[in-house]
Each structure stands twice: as structure tokens, then as C-alpha cells.
Structure 1
Amino acid sequence: MAADDLSLLIDGVEYIGWQEVRVTRGLERTPPDFDLKVFDRGNPAIVIAKPGKPCVVRLGSDTVITGYVNRYRPGVNKSTGSRRTVSGRGKTQDLVDCSAYLRGIANQISNATTRAVIERLCGLHGLQVEARDGDGAVVPQFNVILTERSWDIIDRVARHSEFLAYEGPDGRLVLTKLGKDRHASGFREGINVEDADVAFSDDQRYSLYEAVYMPTETLGDVAQASASSDYNLRARATDRTIGTDRPGTGERFRPLILIAETMQNGVDIAERRVRWERARRIGRSQALTIVVPSWRDAAGRLWEPGYRVPVHVPSCHVVDAEWVISEVTYRKGRDGTFADVTVMPEDAFLPEPVLLSPFDWQVQQTLDQDRILRDGGAQRTSGTGPGV
């Protein structure tokens, strides 16, 4: 099979010959998804894809999505004949769509590593976790909101360990920090750039970032806060390329006030939050979208989200940069085979700092004792070791 041929595997049968193809993967696109179309032109239907069927999408010999068929749309046109459209998403769709079903543990997760918590949620749907940078930090006790989706919990627990979470080609959930993997080639104007567009913007950037927190840790903090006009402490970060951090100077003043939603380690999390806001907004203020006439780099590897690439597009004012692929769409149609790639500076992908507040130990102890009684004396007490 050629490197730019797509095949769809369902029930051991490989379907090829698709005339219109779109497959999209991304660091912040969970699950990945695909949309395929074929025109039968009077021939019998080549595929009948029942929604819910497991499937695998391959580009050449490379698997790009392992998931399920979500929609099957047959149709007919008097000029083109019958047509078949098949759409689907990766396996992590169940994490995104479904509620976190944690009955039996009182909707609580206690003293477990990031990986263990996420594996518990993924295990509900038979999904595996690939933790590329270790098990992550221990997640203190916290309550799961009754109506939360599994992905809501995974997202914030991953951020607790500064991990990115996204689906790999094999359907596993990948937990990783932004890696150092690089493509063998990149995007260079005059060589392989068919089209490029960059959006430089300042409407989501600010000259002053302040994270407000109410200190409760020490009397010293409370004393400092009492000297404040609003009994709060603030962490600050500035961006002088946007304006001044002080009002009334005649310069442009753009403040953004945030709430550091924590009562533990307030100073640390507040300072991390304002630095993250500034860095991420700067990174995302220069997103570059490039169209290239190939799905692969010079070494034959598919363009991969999370990989670093050299970028040189002077017409878009991006010169000799090394940015990170955020999202890639492999597409094929009447106009040819192309990849639409979005790249941004590394800072655009920094995980948002989050501190998961511990659940009150006395309440937890009471709940644990009640659970022991219900379970007939099971030997489990709070604080004896990791568990979910």
C-alpha cells in the first residue's frame, strides 16, 4: 500500500479506495477523529459500517486512530451515484462523553499517584494508559463532582503533575510532559509550503496579571493580608510589550485579575498561575497554520502532534524558529493529498498549574470507618497507603 493510501479496518475487513479523506489528531484534540467518503458510481456498496463497531484507521502502514465508528451515512445523487460516508473517533471518546462512574468508593479518590487515578478512570472503559514520564505526583484526597465526565477529572489531575494528556494512535491515553522529539525536516517557504497563515494577536494578552488568594496558612500571612485594601494577597506578572502595569500613566493599561483557587500553598500556586497565563497567552498569540503537500517528513514519519519542527516562513514573519506541532489534519480529495499543520511556540502548551486541595482528614476518617463497617471489617484505614 502506498504511503498516502488510507485504509479502514472493521471486523478484519480492510476497506480502501476512499476518494475524500480527513483525519485529525492534536495535543488538545481528544479524541482524534476521522471522516471518510467514497462514491460508488453505480457499483454495489463497498462498506456498511454499523455505528459502534471497533475500527482502525491507517495511513499506509502507520496506524493513526484506534477507535469506533460513530456515524454511517449512505446517500445517493443522480449525477454521482451512491455514496458512503463513515465518521468516527478514537477510543478516548468514552472518557469525554461519559460520566465518571466511581460508585463503590463514595465518589472519592485518595492518596494515589496521577497515573493510578487516571488508570482507574480509564479502566472503566477498558483503556490503557501510557505514562511516558513516570507516575506523577500523589493526588491528595478530593471529591468527584457527581455529574463530572471522566475527562474533566483526568484533565485536572494531569495538570497537577504538569502532564499533557491526549490519545495515542493505538487508542491508549498518553501522559507526558512536552517532549524533545524532533522531525527529520520541517516547513520551509519555497520548498514544501503550499499555503501559510499566521495570526499575530494581542486581544487575549495583558500588561498586568494578578492572581488573588486569601491566605489561611500562617498568622503572618493573615497579618500581611490585613494591611491590604481588600484583605487579599496578590501574585503579579507583567508583559511590557503590551503596556504598563500601572494605571493612570498615559500608557496602555490592560490588567487581568485571576483567582488562585486554593487555600494551600497559596503563594506558590498564585505565582505559577500568573507566569503560566503570561507565557501561554504569548505563545498562542502567534499560531501558524501551514499546508504541505505530504503527510510525512523527509524521513517518512507522519507529521506528529507534540513533535518539534524547524519553521521558516519569512512571508509570515517566522524565521528559523523551532516550534511544536499542535494539530495535524491529513486530508485527501480531488485537489490532491495535503497535511494542514498548526504550530506554535513551546510555551503555548504549558499545562495550567493546579493544586488539588486535600479533603478534610476528619471527614475522610469518618467515611473510611463507615466503609469498613459496610464491608464487614475490611482492613482499610485512611493514610495507610495509596488507593483510589
Structure 2
Amino acid sequence: MNNTVILRVNGREWGGWESVRISAGIERIARDFNVQITRQWPGDEEQAKKRARIRNGDRVEVLIGDDLVITGWVEATPVRYDAHSITMGIVGRSKTADLIDCSATPSQYSGRSMVQIASALAKPFGISVVDAGGVTGALQGIQADQGDTVMDVLNKMLGLQQALAYDNASGNLVIGSPGAVKATTALVFGENILSCDTEQSIKDRFSVYEVAGKRAGNDSDFGEATTTAIRGQTVDNGIARYRPLIIRQTGNATSASCGSRSEFEMRQRAARTDEVTYTVQGWRQGDGTLWQPNMQVIVFDPVVGFDNREMVIAEVTWQVDEGGTVSEIRVGPADAYLPEPPKPRKKKASSTQEYF
């Protein structure tokens, strides 16, 4: 299977890289790449020509064999040298990098779906939005404030519908849920797993999560609710000793918002305990397809305690260096990657009511 990494720039294809690192994941919306060539002095004239023909701001397609993995822009062309050698590199990110870096046009969106709002935000950048399913319903009162990046506005929506936003190989934005497709190959201790790295730490987990907030009074309660806290509580049965965490819910809290926030905190923190990064030989599964982010994958690893456990691939890094051709695959339970529920909004104060 062809794993040659090609950069397609300005109608030409460039290869022969000695070091490659390409990363994609569901907790980011822009893939990135870094390729390098090192030569002894004096420098190779052909490599000098290659770098001269690839400039910052050029549109680039990155391919692994026949598989497109990134469509984006060249953002840096670093050069490093010493008395013995010179290293030249090309670095870039997906088209969706502009959604992270750039400001959104201030606008108000109501009665539209997340995909429709995201499409309106991405359109000026020439980026399409792919609906990967699992996200429905109209949203109200979504606002792009002065100075918000497009990513800031996306984050306002993601928690409302517990959705993910990430990019695909064509440089477009994908809106969907964790575990969109199933991997054809399992990660198996003693077979394709070369190494494992996990902390399995519980330092950020607690026995009970209590979210407390207050809501504005109204004409019927004459402000009594403004002095009585509204609480939501969730217990983590995986933590045996007494470890409470109290979180203050800002804005105009409700029992539902406090409850959902406490449930979120427990589920995500517990799921993060089981995150693991595996290194496997090569870049492809048994059927020849590349390992990809947001795949559901079965993991058998008795050392860590996974007995054919279904996990989500959060990030994949395809890498070549002096250590060979490997994939770094970070996996975790789906709950680890759900975005935080939105915080309640504050209501405008009147002359007869006090707000917290």
C-alpha cells in the first residue's frame, strides 16, 4: 500500500520528505502538517528549488498515497541550520484554520439549525459545512458579538446540542456526533499495539458534583428565588472517598441547567480517566484504509483493563521519522468529547428585581 506523502502545490507534486507529522482530531477544527528535509552542506539544489516554489499562503493538498488527508494553506517555511546540515520544512493547516483565527461578522441568528448557522459563518471563507447527522432542531438567540471568532460562535452552539465540530480531508467543517463510523481493525495488545501511554488519573474527579445557582425573581415570588439557591447534584460512584466539588452556575439558573451541568462534569471527568494514546505500526487498518479521527474502535488491552471496549478515536497523528512509520491514536469514551452545556443567560435587571 502506497504511503508516500505528497504535497500538491501550484499544479505540482512534491515528495521525498525525511520527516512527516500530520495530525487530525475531533477536539480541533483544523488539521495540520509539518514535513521536513535535512541535507548536509552544501545544500541540494533540487531541494532549494522545491522550497522556493512553495510559498506562505499557497493552497496545498496533502496526500498519503492516493488518500487526500488535508486541504489547506501553507503557513510557514522554516529553515534551521548549523555547521553540519540544513533543515528545510513546510508547515500548514486545513482551510478551517481561518475559522479559528478570524473574526465573525456580528450577526443575530434565530430559528435556524446549527448546520445552517455554521454554513452562514463559514461561507465568507469559502468553506462548506457537512451535516454528519445526529444534530437536529432550531436554535434561538445565537449571536456573533463584536470580536468573536467563528470558533467562539460555534462553541456557543455545540453545548446546546452536544455536538462536535471538526474538519475533513477536503478542508470543510463537519458537524456531527462522536463515533461517526466504525473502524475495521481493533487495537489489540500483543498484536498491532506497539506502545501505550495513559495516566489513568483521578485527580480531577470528585465523589459528588453540586452545581448551585440563582434565578431572577418574578411577579409571583416577589424576588424570593433570588435569595434561595437552585441546585443540581450528581454522584460519581467510581470515587469511594469523600471528594465534593461545588460549582457556581452563573446567569439565570434553573434546576434543569444545574442538573445538566453536574451530570456533564461527572461524565466527562470520569471518561477522561480512560483516555489512552496508542502507537501502532503503519498508517492503515487491515483493509488498507487510513486510521481516522471519530471512528469507533474496539480496544483489547488487559494491561490497562479494556476487554473489547468500544472507544472513540479522538486524534490520529500519522508520523515518519528515524523511528519508522507509525500512527499515534488517542482514544477515549464518547463522553470524554461532548462539549459543555451552555451557561444560562443573565436577564436584564428591572427597578424592582435584583439579579445574580
Choose the corresponding residue for 2:99, options 95, 98, 108.
95
* Cα contact 2:252–2:344 (8 A) shared by 1: no
Deviation at 1:320, TM superposition (A): 2.0
Q: Note the C-alpha offset of 1:354.
A: 2.1
Q: Aligned ranges for residues 253-268 of structure 1 at < 5 Å? A: 253-263=242-252, 266-268=254-256
Q: Is the 8 A contact 1:160 1:355 kept in 2?
A: no
- Deviation, 1:201, is 0.9
| Aligned residue in 2 for 1:162 | 162
Q: Is the CA contact 1:311–1:323 (under 8 Å) kept in the aligned structure 2? A: yes
1:352 and 2:352 aligned: no
What 5-or-longer segments of structure 2 have no aligned partner?
349-356
Q: Secondary structure at the match of 2:275?
A: strand
Name the residue aligned to 1:68: 73
The Cα RMSD (Å) is 2.4
In the other structure, the counterpart of 1:366 is none
TM (normalized to structure 2)?
A: 0.88
Is this contact kept in 2: 1:287–1:343, CA < 8 A? yes
Cα separation, 1, equivalents of 2:347 and 2:131 = 26
What CA distance in whole angstroms lies between the structure 2 residues aligned with 1:221 and 1:294?
Answer: 65
More strand as a share of residues: 2
- Does structure 2 retain, via aligned residues, the 8 Å contact 1:23–1:34? yes
Find the partner of 2:235 among 231, 234, 238: 238
Over 3 Å counting, the alpha-carbon distance change for 1:323 and 1:236 in structure 2 is same
- Partner residue in 1 for 2:89: 85
Give the letter for the 2:66 counterpart: S
Q: What residue ranges of structure 1 are gaps of 5+ in the alignment?
A: 244-251, 361-388
Q: Is the 8 A contact 1:4 1:337 kept in 2?
A: no
Aligned runs of 1:1-388 on 2, under 5 Å? 2-41=1-40, 42-44=43-45, 45=48, 46-48=50-52, 49-80=54-85, 82-102=86-106, 107-133=107-133, 136-216=136-216, 225=225, 231-243=228-240, 252-263=241-252, 266-354=254-342, 357=345
- CA distance in 2: counterparts of 1:313 and 1:221, whole angstroms: 57
| Distance in structure 1 (CA, Å) of the matches to 2:310 and 2:221 | 43
Q: Deviations over 1:306-349 (max 9, x none)?
A: 10111112223333211111111100012210001111112212
- Distance in 2 of aligned mates of 1:295 and 1:204: 33
Aligned structure 1 segments of 4 or more residues deviating by more than 6 angstroms: 217-224
The alpha-carbon deviation at position 78 of structure 1 amounts to 4.3
Contact 1:284 1:348 in 2 (8 A): yes
Relative distance call for 1:144 and 1:180 in structure 2 (3 A) is closer
Q: Is the 8 A contact 1:140 1:359 kept in 2?
A: no
Question: Any idea what the Cα deviations from partners look like across 1:33-62, whole Å, max 9, x if unmatched?
Answer: 111001345421233321111101111111
Pairs aligned (count): 342
Alignment check: 8 A CA contact 2:78 2:88 kept: yes
TM-score (norm 1): 0.81
CA deviation profile, 1:251-291 (whole Å, cap 9, x unmatched): x3222222344537x22222121111101100001211111
Return the letter of the residue paired with 2:272: R
Aligned letter for 2:87? R
Check whether the contact 1:69–1:86 (CA below 8 A) recurs between aligned residues: yes
* Separation (CA, whole Å) in 2 of partners of 1:89 and 1:358: 37
Matched-pair contact (CA < 8 Å) for 1:160–1:356: no
Asked if structure 1 preserves the Cα contact closer than 8 Å seen for 2:179 and 2:334, the reply is no
Hey, what's the Cα distance between the residues in 1 that align with 2:298 and 2:44? Answer: 46
Distance 1:262 1:116 in 2: 27
Q: Sequence identity, in percent?
A: 28
51-60 or 212-221, which deviates more: 212-221
Instruction: Sort the Cα spacing of 1:35 and 1:221 in 2 relative to 1 into closer, same or farther, 3 A.
Output: farther
Relative distance call for 1:235 and 1:75 in structure 2 (3 A) is closer
Compared CA separation, residues 217 and 128, structure 1 to 2 (3 A): farther
Distance 1:139 1:310, change over 3 A: same
